[in-house]
Amino acid sequence: MKIVAASKILKANDALAAENRQKLTEAGVLAVNWMGSPGSGKTTLLEALARYWQGRRKVAVIQGDLAGSLDAQRMEALGLPVVQINTDGACHLDANMVAQALAGLRLEPGRLLMIENVGNLVCTANFDLGEHLRLVVLSVPEGDDKVVKYPAIFQTIHALVISKTDLLEQVKFHIDRVGTDLHRLNPRAPLFCVSALQEKGIAELAEWIEAHQGG
Ligand code: MG
Ligand code: ZN
């Protein structure tokens, strides 16, 4: 019997992720790994950001899903180059999948690459994809206790985006509590509050992402 330790798999992943990051950096592409639960509003937020960047910035998308291409079709409808990764049941993207997807994209200086990970707050935390920025989207209906319950992922992120803030009147959700919990684990990560539906907070988030290009 051959047993492969998880730590070895992660080490191999990290090496490949470093290659991806170098390739992207040399090409002048800023890559963002978007994580969050299924239904947290990742794709809807990416649509809103893509609309904001239309005519301003070149954007490309890698979509990770267990099956199908529903989200990729939504991004394609906005005229963006998209590569869909079907993970065949795997609950996260890894650096090898992203390396293959990168081969199908034109990497031009100034391009922003949005990588939508599989909806999952657990193991997506462990896999570096070679991105420059790691963000979690946490939606108001999911509840304000998620930072405490899933600390691993929140420790590794560069920013937290609270989405669906248009539901704050219907749902008991304390933004302050999330902010306090986040900063206990990850003191420097900023918190953004957005409503893609009402197009609130989109410009602020977009500009924060853009500011990391070339940095
Ligand atoms: Mg999605
Ligand atoms: Zn997984």
**Rounded to whole angstroms, how far apart are CA atoms 191 and 161?**
6
What pTM value is reported for the model? 0.95
**25 close to 79: Cβ distance less than 8 angstroms:** no
Task: State pLDDT tens for residues 10-66.
Answer: 889 999 999 999 999 999 999 999 999 999 999 999 999 999 999 999 999 999 999
- Report the alpha-carbon distance of residue 178 to residue 136 in Å, rounded: 13
Distance (Å) from CA 211 to ligand 2 centroid:
30
What tens digit of pLDDT does each residue of 180-206 get?
A: 999 999 999 999 999 999 999 999 999
DSSP annotation of 120 reads: B
CA of 137 to the centre of ligand 1 (A): 11
CB 154 within 8 A of CB 122: no
Measured in Å, residue 18 CA sits from the centre of ligand 1 at 25
Strand runs labelled E in the chain: 30-35, 59-65, 82-86, 112-116, 133-139, 159-163, 191-193
| Centroid of ligand 2 to alpha carbon of 88 (angstroms) | 11
How many A from CA of 203 to the centre of ligand 2? 31
Q: Cβ(56)–Cβ(168) under 8 Å?
A: no
